[in-house]
Amino acid sequence: MNRVLVVSYHFPPEGGVAVQRVQKFVKFLPNFGYLPVVLTAQHPLKKYDDSPLKSFFPEVEIHRTRDWMAYFPGEIRKLIKKISFPDKHVFWKWTAIRRGIKLVKKYNIDIVFSSSPPHSVQLIAMEIARKTGAKHVSDFRDEWSGDLNFGKLPAPVRQQRLEKEICTQSAAIITLLSSAQRNFTRLAPASKVHVIPNGFDPDDFPQNGKLKSSSKKLKLVYCGRFSNKASPTAFFAALSAQLTESPALKDKLHVQIIGATGNKSWLKKFANLHSIVEFLPFQPHKKCLELMRDADILLLFASNDGKKEGIPAKTFEYFYLQKPVFLVVDTPGELSVLLEMYRNVYIGFKSIEKTIQQQIENLVSDFDNGTPAKAVDAAFIHQFDRKLQTQKLARIFDSLI
């Protein structure tokens, strides 16, 4: 079995969405002839979930080297963050590059696979590959210069130069979206830019059915952290307006938000929603899936501007659960098209006035009539199985060796 060096700043027992894609690749790669040797950062964890570690082949090695900067006092880190390039995690390279070179030489590794953000991981992997002759496969969970938050990064011109350098030297580039693939072909030949979407792992889901509830309210659930990329503001505004027009709605709806404590701040402007919106703290992934399983509707928020798209990783877990999805997105695009293919969806666009409020009305009406769910194509869902996605990655490795 060939070994592959997997470089990722985030990895279990760290919890949260940032670890899931790489975690699943590590779990399934041995099925397709590649034994991962993981190189990850040792740093203080805000979210903890060690359950994924139990799913790996026993032969998988996990090497952790310290990101010393993460242990500095907060005020010092804030000052250094302002001058860090390309991001605040770049100082991990002090320990990561040295260890990575040793591992590649020890096991005669041909492929260095790295996943970002943070994009400093790509810089680290590029240096390891350069100094050992291994081939670098760069995986971008989020785009770099094509990301909605690119304007907030320091030294944007230098960022673009580094992105170009990494894409030029990469033997293969992997993205999650067709729009991202098009953007990366500005930096590298189209032949080496591949799309592997996120997906779901059936093993993660509770095997028992939905819990019975005595509540007669329609339960809408969201798991995750709110941000400018996943803002609930338009949904809360539409829900607040609908509640003002139809006060009886408060006896029909229960919105449950699971995630970071900062999520609560997004509700400040909508006082009339406090009676129907409940906030729960961060939960391990399996617990989140249980809460999603017991929902009537799953909420999905995303931002796009036509050329810059994003598909939240939870989208594919929603597909597996085959629950109705309530999507709020800026404009029609790759995400809304994907959800239309799923069919079991209510879509509200921020750019089209009143559509979100109208979809809330449609949703409540459908549940009152007992007809909320639409048929879902099993073949459409199956294509997003994490094991199949990992097989695609292994085939890319095959083509490079």
CATH architecture for residues 2-199+386-400: 3-Layer(aba) Sandwich (3.40)
Residue 54 has a CB neighbour count (10 Å cut-off) of 7
Query: In sequence order, what are the beta bridge partners of 301?
Result: 328
Query: What per-residue confidence (pLDDT) applies to 304?
Result: 80
Report the percent of the chain where pLDDT is more than 70.
97
Q: What is the mean pLDDT of the chain?
A: 92
Question: Which own/partner pairs from 72-77 qualify as long-range (CB within 8 Å, at least 24 positions apart)?
Answer: none
User: What does the alpha-carbon distance between residue 331 and residue 343 come to, in Å, rounded to a whole number?
Assistant: 18
| Residue 146 or 24, more confident | 24
Ranges 190-199, 241-250, 365-374: which has the least confidence = 365-374
pLDDT, average across residues 235-250: 93
Q: What is the pLDDT of residues 137-166, one digit of tens each?
A: 999 999 999 888 888 888 999 999 999 999
Task: Tell me which CATH code domain 203-381 carries.
Answer: 3.40.50.2000
- The 3-state secondary structure of the chain, one letter per residue: CEEEEEEECCCCCECCHHHHHHHHHHHHHHHHCEEEEEEEEECCCCCECCHHHHHCCCCCEEEEEECHHHHCCHHHHHHHHCCCCCCCCHHHHHHHHHHHHHHHHHHCCCEEEEEECCCHHHHHHHHHHHHHCCEEEEEECCCCCCCCCHHHCCCHHHHHHHHHHHHHHCCEEEECCHHHHHHHCCCCCHHHEEECCCCECHHHCCCCCCCCCCCCCEEEEEECCCCCCCCCHHHHHHHHHHHHHCHHHHHCEEEEEECCHHHHHHHCCCHHHCCCEEEECCCCHHHHHHHHHCCCEEEEEECCCCCCCCCCCHHHHHHHHCCCEEEEECCCCHHHHHHHHHCCEEEEECCCCCHHHHHHHHHHHHHHCCCCCCCCCHHHHHCCEHHHHHHHHHHHHHHHC
Closest CA to 314 of 11, 104, 14, 20: 20
Report domain extents, the chain: 2-199+386-400, 203-381
Q: 206 is written with which tokens?
A: 């509770």
Within the chain, what is the greatest distance between any pair of CA atoms? Answer: 68
pLDDT in tens, 181-229: 999 999 999 999 999 999 999 999 987 655 545 467 899 999 999 998 8
Least confident of 205-214, 340-349, 371-380: 205-214
